[in-house]
Amino acid sequence: MEKAPFVTENEKKAFWHATSHVLADAVKRLWPDVKLGIGPAIDEGFYYDFDKKVPFTAEDLVRIEAEMKKIVKDDKLFKDVLMPRKDAEKFLSKEPYKLELLKDITDKEISFRQHGAFIDLCNNTLLKSAGQIKAFKLLNMAAAYWRGDPKKGQMQRIYGISFPEKEMLEEFMKRKEEAEKRDHIKLGKQLDLFGLYPETVGSGLAHWHPKGAITRNIIENFWKSEHEKKGYKYVYTPHIGNINLWKTSGHWAHYRESMYPPIKIDEIEYLLKPMSCPFHIQIFKSKSRSYRELPLKLCELGTVYRYEASGALHGLVRVRGFTQDDAHIFCTQEQLEGEITNVLDLALFMLPSFGFKEYVIELSVRDPENKEKYLGSEKIWETAEKALTKALEKKKLQFKRAEGEAKFYGPAIDIKLKDAIGRTWQCTTIQVDFNLPEKFDLNYVSEDNKQHRVIMVHHTVLGSMERFMGCLIEHYAGAFPVWLAPAQVKLLTFTDRNQKYAEKIEAELKKAGLRVETDYENNTVEYKVRAAEMEKIPYVLVLGDKEEEKGTVAVRKRGTQKVQFGVKPADFIKQIKEEIEKKA
């Protein structure tokens, strides 16, 4: 059984960040003139950015790893070092990138971390000593703009991973090999699902090609249908809005680093929409609301734009423009727990429909040491957290508290689904919010004919369409189940004389509502079958003289070598439609 590599998120970050220090130490030992950038822990491992005149090579990574092994073997302690600002400036005088970072630090005494002779600007918790890093691997290299700014110099980034035991690294590398086979960027290109055009259009802006758009449309229609069944009203809102909306909401003060700069139109500043909440609030406020209208549920597949550093962008899963399945419930205090439970029911119905059976559920709450970062009183945070907890307990769902992971305006339930190789993907989020109703003065008229403050529940079920599609591609390794496949059936002919019969079968299948592709080219059947396998089409129907004579089809299911002969077209249509209905 695979071991859990780290007990807590903080332990994991400390381990990986400490290893980035060891990496930087090794690089400076080998190339003293290299200038250091930053080296954070990331979702899976760490990286460090370097300014080196001659690019690193694969052979260089081998040399760096060997030097890192020496550092780990020496097992020097990681020590905290404090320097007065002037001393720090002098110490970093030959490190221009560190000096730039130093300007953003307001403390009089500057925090460093030291192991052996190597000292780096840092205020993070690290390991006790370098010797705790028992296994590590440098994974790859990439170019990255300094601080994500194309106007600044381009640096060289080295990515790595590390673990406290060798066996854990071996397990990770096996998973990595499997993940590479499922890479949604490679499969997206192979299957012609989407495209990325950073040079001509811009980074982090995905284009859905016709085949990918078919699958996205199926997902969105299913999402809309299930929300309509639950009483949601679909809305559309603009892509830009007056900056004052986000100043009022608090996003401009608390979330600005992820928002694009304002656009001035007619002397008014507008923002590209980073989220839909303020717009849905305007719809709620458009008229007086009675308690009889509550809960009012608004939903939208809204395209939003958020700034991601260029080094963080990755295929569909980390983008700058994406469509989010966004919904807001406006309800009373008495309705709150029930509405949270309803959203959990919706999520735990929809996610298994896409083939996801396992989840990690977290209750994201405030950082108890930094409560000043969050809006609102102690009382409303406690009330919101209690409602979320009671809903989880009512559904008998296991969860863990994630301190410091709450948004600035309220706690949340976060559901992370597990894919076919055990990786987690953030999808469902359910946030209770007392703060935006206060800031936007959102009320309803109760039975007592008085104004009462409404409560908001923000939620997504699938998250962004882009990330969810990337997740689906990797979960299924591109081999979508029949109901999601862009093409469900491919018709192949043995010879040109079978084409008229094939066209007759094609018309029957399309009349039954199936998505059909054909290959009537003058190639061998073996070649055509291999091509269909590469396209990962669920069913291939081969049509030759025998099939035409008997009015049947030969059926080959994806992933099998077995061919079922003598199948009547009506029987095949019935079988595949049952499979689609079951979402198998």
**Average pLDDT taken over every residue of the chain:** 93
Q: Residue 418: name the closest of 478, 349, 360, 362 by CA.
A: 360
The domains of the chain, with CATH numbers, are: 9-176 (3.30.980.10), 189-235+272-476 (3.30.930.10), 489-582 (3.40.50.800)
Give residue-wise pLDDT tens across range 85-112: 999 999 999 999 999 999 999 899 999 9
Rounded average pLDDT over 113-137: 94
Phi, psi of 189 (to 5 degrees): -75, -45
Give residue-wise pLDDT tens across range 382-414: 888 899 999 999 999 999 888 888 888 788 999
pLDDT class for 289, splitting at 50, 70, 90? very high
> Which pLDDT value is given to residue 4?
53
Give residue-wise pLDDT tens across range 535-568: 999 999 999 999 999 999 999 999 888 899 999 9
> Which pLDDT value is given to residue 1?
37
Q: Round to whole Å and give the CA distance between 334 and 417.
A: 30
> Which pLDDT value is given to residue 5?
61
> Which pLDDT value is given to residue 169?
94
Give residue-wise pLDDT tens across range 506-517: 999 999 999 999
Helix axes 333-353, 378-394, angle to 10 degrees: 50
Q: Round to whole Å and give the CA distance between 223 and 182.
A: 25
Rounded average pLDDT over 163-180: 91
**Residue owning tokens 């007759």:** 504
Q: Round to whole Å and give the CA distance between 418 and 426.
A: 9
Q: Round to whole Å and give the CA distance between 278 and 276.
A: 6
pLDDT class for 2, splitting at 50, 70, 90? very low
pTM: 0.81
Phi, psi of 394 (to 5 degrees): -60, -40
**Residue owning tokens 């198998």:** 584
Percentage of the chain exceeding pLDDT 70: 98
Residue 249 in tokens = 């909401």
Give residue-wise pLDDT tens across range 209-238: 999 999 999 999 999 999 999 999 999 999
Total number of residues shown for the chain:
584
CB 569 within 8 A of CB 552: yes
> Which pLDDT value is given to residue 430?
94
